[in-house]
Structure 1
Amino acid sequence: MLLLLSFLSLFCFAVFSQSQGQASLSRSNDPNGRCVYSFTVVSPQESSCPGGNAKSEMDEVLTRLTLLEALVSRLTAREERGTAFGGVRHSEENLHEAYAQVTRERNQLQQDQKRLNAQVQKLQGTVAELNREAERLRQRPCEQTHTSGGTRHENRPLRDPVFHFENTSYQEMKAKVKELPASRLLPEGIQRASSPKLSSNISSGCGELLSVGEPVLHRKADAITGKYGVWLQDPDPQGPYYTNKTVWRIDSIGREIRQLFVYEDMDQFSKGFPMKVLVLPEPVESTGATVYRGSLYYQRRRSRTLLRYNLTSESLASRLDLPHAGFHGQHPYSWGGYTDIDLAADEQGLWVIYSTGKAKGAIVISQLDPASLEVRRSWETKIRKNSVGNAFMVCGRLYTVASYTTPNTTINYMFDTATSEGQAVAVPFVNKYRYNSMVDYNHAQRKLYAWDNFHMVTYDVRLGWAGKGRS
């Protein structure tokens, strides 16, 4: 500061020295009352200041100051806005992230809604189809003839009714092909006897099963309801209306199986002309029914109840709950089909093949009273029911078929109720159509009746004693 003042003093002194005659010093008071000293030096170049005065200079300075203040204000405001914009930018990023999350959740909800709507539409379509099918069945007239006064009034022959089920999975087929070696079917210590034992109470002509012939085709079902079922002839018919030539058939696919088709003989059966259609009072479960001495014996659907339906009077004659019997998929044959209870008839009477919780799935055989269905006696075997494809009775002996689907399988086990002993056997058996759901024995015809994948077939059998070959 002192250096600046010194410089000014020297400058003023120099100017004053150069123009002594032209400089003047004046003193006056400013508007605030303070004393102000002023040096006046005459310009050697200009005689006057054109258009210039102190006021205009002051105005110019004020204008510059105003512009400077405006500039400073603008810069200050810009800095403040920059700080504020940083916070806004951060808030905008948070908002974008939240919006993206909401959008993803909305899209997921829309996809779930579409999927649920599709499922609802599918279920509605299924319900509508079932309602239409039920309505068609209700409106269908009963195709049967009536008997009165001991005389049968016959209409012209009827074709088998055909039902077109779009959904064929009315019964679960929990099937798994499983053939076991004969040695695994027997308990330890049981071996095949070197000479068979003859029962004292078996009928004339009985003996061991020596061989089974090739299947003979009699009829092929022409609708999906005929994939599996029951077909039989009565080995010992009773009454004036039906004979041992009469053929009985039940298609066992459906929810309420009640129709029993009656054919005059095998020829009419092969042509598909039933002479009568009976409507059973209770629905049938699976393929375990049999016909014996003028009655149809069958298991009531979804129960362990056995029913005897008199074919002459067309009415229920007796019923019985089979004690402790498994039913509806607890102990079926290996092909499934709710074949827990299987009724059979042979030279010695009426039988039922089943299992219980106590037997833990092993086959139990009970002989029944044909009139009352009371259990006369029972036997427990050592072979599991779900390990075999089917079973039947011949001369008081149980025989099991190893597989229901293998084309060349065997009858692999026999249990004799006369001796209460079981043993492995190996009698060849053919499943020609590879889905054998029913095998029953007719002792009058000396044949096996079977239902093999829409095909109704019979097998000739040969009985006798090992080494003697009596048939």
Structure 2
Amino acid sequence: MKPLFILLLSTAWMLCGAQFYYQALMDYLENRLLAIEDHMHLWRDQSRQYRMALQNLHKQSKKTMEGLKQAHSTLSTDVEAAAVQLDRVERDMDFVETRTSPRACANRADRVVEQGVWSQEESRGEEEEGWQELPSRVTDCVEIISAIRSVKILKRVGYSKGVWIRDPRSSKVYVFNGTAGDTIYQFESVRVFGHSSGVALGRPIRLPSDRRGSGIAVYNGYLYYIQQGEDMYVVRYDLLGGELMDVTILPAESRAAVYSLNPETVADLAVDDQGLWLLYASSETEPNINLAKMDPVSLDIEQIWDTRCPRENSEAAFVVCGIVYVVYNTRLASRSRVQCMFDVNDKVLSEEAPLFYFPRRYGAHASLKYNPEEKQLYSWDDGYQILYRLTTKRKLQL
């Protein structure tokens, strides 16, 4: 009996211990579940708070964006109004200049200006009655350009880039549409070109080779242009006889553009009272524009100068009385301005160097060609053919 009692007692003790163990385990699990439930409630409350904060931020951002849009719209309106006012002021300034500029070398052509033939409105080929071809009046080259006197927008024809130019020794006008090709168009006068629909009234002239860029000049019945091949050449072509007269190689080591804003033009040609000029960049690393004086018959290089005028942001240049005027702009076309000049004779004082702006028109000049007989620039601006009449003054130092 005694062993059986002991067995029963030990079994009861084991059952009691197991019950206590399972009860403790259940209590532990229950506590853990309650803790997890508390954490879930906490996370739910925090999620609700975050969601409300995000909703408030979204509403505030939306309100701020609406305010910014309204401010942007107001600012755009103000900028447009300011641009209109600025354009109006520029037009008024141009008009005042036509009335108050000095009457340097006044003649019948100046009286035509006063009668309103030269204006700032687009005529698109419809010129007023009384147009007269300007007579020859070569000066002794003792003058310096000081400002734009008046503007005439003749018409719009062709591509955004091109060249139109008049022979200083005749009334004939030559039009080069685009930046490359072997055909030019000859017109009997500016008036004929102005009344022509496109180039319909022009006589096409086929060149012996392709030209490229705005490196073109016409002088005394001869056409000078830049030919590009394995090497680069200056070509002299007889416009009257239709004959290739001479060719000379460019004094440049590379095909670097002379004007950074017109990369098609590796070299430019200009004519003034003193003859034929070549503007170019000697190499890719050369920061400045170089100038060379050329013999218009033999095409020999007579002398070379470093103008110290940077190529960067330059769009065109022209030469007047041995003075190079370099015109600058920005990548996003703005108002063109003469910002650098160089006198080959060192007769211009630094304090008289002009810094003047061209009236704002359409874009940037693809070409600017000076006519020494008329004292005006033939410009190609975004497909528009524009004439700039210049104001001059005598140099301070001779």
TM-score range, shorter chain: 0.5 to 0.7
| CA distance in 1: counterparts of 2:323 and 2:349, whole angstroms | 9
The CA deviation string for residues 226-256 of structure 1, in whole angstroms up to 9 with x for no partner, is 21111111112xxxxxxx21110111245xx
Partner of 2:358: 429
Amino acid at match of 1:321: I
The CA deviation string for residues 286-317 of structure 1, in whole angstroms up to 9 with x for no partner, is 11101011101000034421100101111110
Matched position secondary structure for 1:283: strand
Q: RMSD over aligned Cα, in angstroms?
A: 2.4
Partner of 1:212: 148
Out of 170, 175, 180, the position equivalent to 1:249 is 175
Quick check: 1:290 aligned with 2:290?
A: no
Amino acid at match of 1:335: L
For residues 181-220 of structure 1, the aligned pairs below 5 Å read 203-204=139-140, 206-220=142-156
Amino acid at match of 1:250: F
Matched position secondary structure for 2:228: coil
| CA distance in 2: counterparts of 1:418 and 1:377, whole angstroms | 12
The CA deviation string for residues 62-116 of structure 1, in whole angstroms up to 9 with x for no partner, is xxxxxxxxxxxxxxxxxxxxxxxxxxxxxxxxxxxxxxxxxxxxxxxxxxxxxxx
Task: Report if aligned partners of 1:262, 1:277 keep a CA contact under 8 Å in 2.
Answer: yes
Out of 350, 361, 365, the position equivalent to 2:287 is 361
For residues 377-392 of structure 1, the aligned pairs below 5 Å read 377-392=303-318
Task: Report if aligned partners of 2:152, 2:386 keep a CA contact under 8 Å in 1.
Answer: yes
Task: Report if aligned partners of 1:343, 1:353 keep a CA contact under 8 Å in 2.
Answer: yes
| CA distance in 1: counterparts of 2:284 and 2:363, whole angstroms | 33
Partner of 1:260: 184
Task: Report if aligned partners of 2:171, 2:189 keep a CA contact under 8 Å in 1.
Answer: yes
Compute the TM-score of the two structures, normalised by the length of structure 1.
0.50
Task: Report if aligned partners of 1:227, 1:253 keep a CA contact under 8 Å in 2.
Answer: no
Partner of 1:440: 369
Deviation at 1:420, TM superposition (A): 8.3
| CA distance in 2: counterparts of 1:359 and 1:392, whole angstroms | 23
Matched position secondary structure for 1:373: coil
Matched position secondary structure for 1:429: coil
Matched position secondary structure for 1:268: helix
| CA distance in 2: counterparts of 1:339 and 1:422, whole angstroms | 30
Task: Report if aligned partners of 2:257, 2:263 keep a CA contact under 8 Å in 1.
Answer: no
Out of 300, 314, 334, the position equivalent to 1:374 is 300
Partner of 1:454: 383
For residues 155-174 of structure 1, the aligned pairs below 5 Å read none
Unaligned residue ranges in structure 2 (runs of 5+): 1-137
Matched position secondary structure for 2:354: strand
Out of 272, 275, 286, the position equivalent to 1:346 is 272
Task: Report if aligned partners of 1:206, 1:463 keep a CA contact under 8 Å in 2.
Answer: no
Partner of 1:230: 163
Task: Report if aligned partners of 1:399, 1:413 keep a CA contact under 8 Å in 2.
Answer: yes
Task: Report if aligned partners of 1:262, 1:275 keep a CA contact under 8 Å in 2.
Answer: yes
Matched position secondary structure for 1:441: strand
| CA distance in 1: counterparts of 2:141 and 2:290, whole angstroms | 26
| CA distance in 2: counterparts of 1:290 and 1:307, whole angstroms | 10
- Give the direction of change, closer, same or farther, for the CA distance of 1:275–1:452 in structure 2 (3 Å limit): closer
- Give the direction of change, closer, same or farther, for the CA distance of 1:408–1:323 in structure 2 (3 Å limit): closer
| CA distance in 1: counterparts of 2:253 and 2:164, whole angstroms | 24
Amino acid at match of 2:384: H
| CA distance in 2: counterparts of 1:309 and 1:339, whole angstroms | 19
Compute the TM-score of the two structures, normalised by the length of structure 2.
0.59
| CA distance in 2: counterparts of 1:275 and 1:409, whole angstroms | 30
Identity %: 25
Matched position secondary structure for 1:317: strand
| CA distance in 1: counterparts of 2:280 and 2:227, whole angstroms | 14
| CA distance in 1: counterparts of 2:282 and 2:348, whole angstroms | 19
| CA distance in 2: counterparts of 1:343 and 1:422, whole angstroms | 26
Amino acid at match of 2:163: V
| CA distance in 1: counterparts of 2:253 and 2:299, whole angstroms | 14
Deviation at 1:448, TM superposition (A): 0.7
Matched position secondary structure for 1:430: coil
Matched position secondary structure for 1:269: helix
| CA distance in 1: counterparts of 2:207 and 2:162, whole angstroms | 15
Deviation at 1:362, TM superposition (A): 1.1
Unaligned residue ranges in structure 1 (runs of 5+): 1-201, 237-243
Matched position secondary structure for 2:140: coil
| CA distance in 2: counterparts of 1:311 and 1:393, whole angstroms | 23
| CA distance in 2: counterparts of 1:394 and 1:400, whole angstroms | 11
- Give the direction of change, closer, same or farther, for the CA distance of 1:293–1:409 in structure 2 (3 Å limit): same
